């Protein structure tokens, strides 16, 4: 993991989202966490056998997205009203 600052929200928001996603993947059994009792704390992650079983599904989904991605993105934007279009959530200054 890089220690470089993240997007405009700052590094903390990025680190927090990573932590939440890793915890969710661990709870779902997709990854396994190995914690080491040291200072500073250290944890390593590896994909579980269950997570490995998702490989063919994810590759198939990627292939589908590559084939249909442009048409889906264009259609989705056409059907969104201005108040629900994606915005930069970090841009409250």
Indicate if the pLDDT at residue 10 is higher than 60. Answer: no
Band of residue 93 on the pLDDT scale cut at 50, 70, 90:
very low
pLDDT of res. 72: 74
From the list 72, 90, 86, the residue with the least C-alpha distance to 8 is 90
- For residue 40, the 8-state DSSP code is S
Please state the rounded mean pLDDT for residues 58-77.
Answer: 82
pLDDT (tens digit per residue) in 11-67 = 566 888 998 999 999 999 999 999 999 999 999 999 999 999 999 999 999 999 888
- Cα–Cα distance for residue pair 23/3, rounded to 1 Å: 20
Of the two residues 37 and 70, the one the predictor is more confident about is 37
């Amino acid at each position: 993991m890089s220690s470089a600052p993240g997007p405009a929200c700052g590094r903390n928001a990025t680190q927090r989202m990573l932590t939440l996603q890793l915890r969710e993947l661990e709870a779902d059994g997709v990854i396994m966490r190995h914690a080491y009792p040291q200072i500073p704390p250290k944890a390593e992650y590896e994909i579980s056998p269950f997570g490995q079983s998702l490989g063919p599904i994810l590759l198939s989904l990627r292939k589908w997205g590559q084939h249909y991605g442009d048409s889906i993105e264009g259609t989705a934007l056409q059907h969104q009203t201005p108040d629900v279009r994606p915005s930069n959530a970090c841009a409250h200054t």
